[in-house]
Chain A
Amino acid sequence: MSNTDIAVTALNEAKVGSAGVVEQIDLPEEVSNYLAHLGFLPGTSVEVLRRAPAGDPTVYRIDGVEVGLRNETARHIYLRVTSVSKAAASHAKVASHKNGAHR
C-alpha cells in the first residue's frame, strides 16, 4: 500500500515514545479479528513504549494494556502519528539506531 501522507507510518517504523491512532490494518480477516479483540482497530490510540532487547518484538500500549507485537505483524498496521514527546524523542534516538537497519 502506498501512503502519500507523511504522518502515516507502519507501526513497526514508529519511533519509541511516539503515539498515534491506528489508521488501517492490512491483515487477513482472521488475524485482524483477533487483533481487534486486543484493541487493534482503526481509531484506537497506540503508544510505542519500548523494544525488546533484540529489537523485536516491540511493546505498545493500547487501551491501557501493554502488548508485545512482532515487527512482522506490526508492519501491516498503519499508524497516524500524533505526538512525539520530548522525553521520548531523546529516548527514541538511542533506540532507533537498531530500528533503522532491518529489512
Chain B
Amino acid sequence: MSCHTAVADPELEKLAHEPPAANGVPNGTRPRIRTVALIGPPNSGKSTLFNRLTGMRQKVANYPGVTVDYHSGKMKSIGRSDLTLIDLPGIYSLATYSEDARVAVEVLTGRMPGVPRPDCVLLVLDATHINRQLMLAAPVFTIGLPTLVLLNMSDELDKRGGQIDTLALAKELGHPVALISAARNKGLDVIPEFLARESAMPDAGSRPVQLPILQSPAITRGWATQVTSRTNYVTPATARWTQRLDAVLLHRIAGPLIFLAVVFLVFQVVFTLGQPLSDGLGNLLTALGAHAALLLPDGWLRLLLRDGIWNGVQSVLVFLPQILLLFLFIGILEDSGYLARAALIADRLMRAIGLNGKAFIPLLSAYACAVPAIMATRTIENKRERIATILVAPFMTCSARLPIYTLIIAAFIPNKLFAGGVMGLRALVMLGLYVIGFLAALVTAKVLHTSVLKASPAPFILELPQYRWPTVRSLVLRLYDRGMLFTKKVGTIILSVSFAVWVLSVLPVHHGQLSELTSSIIGHVGHWIEPAIRPLGFNWKIGIGLLGSIMAREVIVGTLGTLYGADPATHSLALQTALRHDITLAGALALVVFYAFAMQCMSTLAVVKRETNSWKYPLLQFVYMTGFAYVAALATFQIVSRLF
C-alpha cells in the first residue's frame, strides 16, 4: 500500500496532537537546535528541497582547503529563521575516498573548521529507487544525529505505479520517514513538525548506533534489499515518455543530429546574442560613467572614480549577459535531463583527449567566453577531469580575441580570394587562429591526462535521469545563484586588479599632474621589457599594449590607438596604417599567435581561483599559457621573417 500520512513515525504522530510552543521553540530555554544538515545522493532533488526551505536567502562558501563549496541559508520559507540549513555535497556513500564524502563526514561530525556541528539531519532519498538510496542512509544513521528521512519525488512514484509503506520503513530504520515532492511542494509540512519536535525535546545526546552493516557495500546492500522487501516496496516502471524520447534522442542517426542542432543553438545564442548584449551593456555603463563624471569637478577624483573604479565595475558587469544566457541554457538542459544524454553522445569524442562527455558543453561555451565556461564545469563530478577542463578552456578562441585578430588581419593580410572566390585569405587566417587554439587545448589535455592529472581510478559513470519539465523557479534560482557568485566572489578580484592596473597607468604624479600612459609606471615597464619581446618582432608600444591587456585581451586595441595617436610620427594615420609602418608582417603574425595562446584575462584567472579554491591552478595556467604563447610567437616571427 502507498502510505500518504504526512509522516510515518508513531512518536511524531502522537506529538502532532500536542500544542506546539510558539515558533517551535520552548519559551525561556536556549534553543536546542540551531543547525540542520541536508544530505542526499546526487539527483535526489536535494537542491530543489534546499531552495524550497531557504528561498533566496542563501550564502555560498568554500570549505577550507577543498574545491567543494556549499550553500547555507536560514530556513525562512518554513518560518524557522532561527535555524541554519547546510547543504552537503551530493554523495552515494560516506566512504572517504572522495573529497565530497570526506567533506560530508567532517561537517556531520563537527570537525569542519568554521562550520557548526549540525544538530539534526534531513536525509533526502529518491523514492523511485529506494534500494540503492538506502546505501547512504545506513552510514548517515551511524553518525547518531536525529534524522528525518524524506522520500522525494513521491509524485513520480505514484505516477509510475510504485508503492512503499512508510510506516513499516520508519520502523525498520528507527527514524521518521515521510513521502514528499520538493518539485511540486507537497508534503513539506513534516519538516517544520520534525524540527519543532527536535527543538522541544530535551537534549538526549546522540542516538545509539544500531546498524552493524557497514563492513562492506555488499552487506549494506543486502540490508537495503531486506528493508525494502519488508516494506512492500514496488519499484516504479520507467516512465514511458523517457523510453520514447530516448529512442529518438539517443538514436544512432537522429541522436547525433539533434545533439548537433542543440549545441549549435546554444553556441549561436550565447555568441550572437550574448556578445551584443555585453557590448551594449558596456557602452551603456561607459555613457553613464561619462555623464556622472561631469557632475564631479575636473581633476584626479573624477579620473579615479571614472577610469579607476567605474571601469572596473564595468569590466565585471559586462560578463553577466553571457553568464546568464549560458546558465539559462545549461539549466534547461540539465533540469530536463538532456544534458546527461548529450554527455553520453559526446563521451566517445571527448575521451580521445582524456576528458569525458560532460566537458563538451563547457568547452564549447569557451568559444564565446571562458568565464561562464569554467563556471559550467561544475557538472563534471570527477575532480581531475574538471580541473583538466578548466585548464584547457581558455585556449578556445573567445570573443575577446576577435578585436585584435580583425585589426591585424585587416592591416596585414591582403584581401585575396581563391578557390573560385569561395575562400578568402583573410577568412583562412582567422580560421587558422581558431584551429591553433583548439589544437593547443587538445595537446594540453593530452599532456595533463598522461602526467599531472592522471586519470583517477573512479570510472566514468553517467546517470540518466528521467526527463522532466524544468521549472521556472529552479531556473530563476540558478541564474540568481550564478550571477551573485560571479559578481560578489569573482567581481571583487577583478575590480581590485583593474583598479591597481589603472593606478599603475597614471602614476607617478608630476607637479600635481597624473602621468600620461607612456610616462607612467606601466609605460616604463613597457620600455623596459622591450629587449625580451624584440625577438618576437614587437616594439615597446606593443609591449605596453601587452601589459595593459593582462586585464583583458581586447584592451590592446584601445591602448595601441592611444599610443599611435599620441606619437607625432603616426598620429595622423589610421591605426591600421600606423601598425603597418611600425611592425613587420612577421611581427604582426607573431602578435596574433601570442594572443591565441596567452592567458591575458584577469576575469578568467579570478574565476579559476574561485572554482578551484586555490591560487595554484590560476598561477600554473598563467605561467604555462604565457610561456606557450611566448615560444609560439618567437617561432612564428623567426620562421616568417626568414620566409618573406
- Interfacial residues, chain A to chain B (CB-CB below 8 A): 27-28, 30-31, 33-39, 41-42, 44, 49-50, 52-57, 59, 61, 63-70, 72-73
Given A50-B250, A69-B459, answer yes or no on A64-B238 (Cβ-Cβ < 8 Å): yes
B569 part of interface (Cβ distance < 8 Å): no
Given A64-B235, A65-B463, answer yes or no on A33-B132 (Cβ-Cβ < 8 Å): no
Q: Are the CB atoms of B218 and A57 closer together than 8 Å?
A: no
Which B residues from 434 to 457 make CB contacts under 8 A with A?
457
Q: Are the CB atoms of A50 and B93 closer together than 8 Å?
A: no
Task: Determine the chain A residues whose CB is within 8 A of the CB of B128 once the complex forms.
Answer: 64
Q: Are the CB atoms of A34 and B221 closer together than 8 Å?
A: no
| Chain B nearest Cβ from A68, distance in angstroms | 4
Task: Determine the chain B residues whose CB is within 8 A of the CB of A39 once the complex forms.
Answer: 131-132, 221
| Chain A nearest Cβ from B345, distance in angstroms | 6
Q: Are the CB atoms of A53 and B218 closer together than 8 Å?
A: no
* A-contacting 9-mer, from B251-259, B471-479, B601-609: B251-259
Bound CA–CA A59/B218 (angstroms): 23
**Interface residues of B, CB < 8 Å — how many?**
40
Task: Determine the chain B residues whose CB is within 8 A of the CB of A64 once the complex forms.
Answer: 128-129, 131, 235-236, 238
Bound CA–CA A42/B252 (angstroms): 31
Q: Are the CB atoms of B95 and A33 closer together than 8 Å?
A: yes
Task: Determine the chain B residues whose CB is within 8 A of the CB of A49 once the complex forms.
Answer: 246
Q: Are the CB atoms of A57 and B344 closer together than 8 Å?
A: yes
Q: Are the CB atoms of A68 and B344 closer together than 8 Å?
A: yes
Of B235, B251, B343, B464, the contact of A66 (CB 8 Å cutoff): B464
- Which of A39, A44, A63 is the most central at the interface, judged by chain B CB atoms within 10 Å of its CB? A63
- Interfacial residues, chain B to chain A (CB-CB below 8 A): 92-93, 95, 97, 128-129, 131-132, 135-136, 217-218, 221, 235-236, 238, 242, 246, 250-253, 255-256, 340, 343-345, 347-349, 351, 457-464
Q: Which residue of B lies closest to A76 (CB)?
A: B459
| Chain B nearest Cβ from A19, distance in angstroms | 13
30 contacts across the A-B interface (CB closer than 8 A):
A30-B457, A31-B458, A33-B93, A34-B97, A34-B458, A34-B459, A34-B461, A36-B135, A37-B132, A42-B218, A44-B221, A49-B246, A50-B246, A52-B348, A53-B252, A54-B348, A57-B460, A59-B464, A63-B235, A64-B128, A64-B129, A65-B132, A65-B463, A67-B463, A67-B464, A68-B347, A68-B463, A69-B459, A73-B460, A73-B461
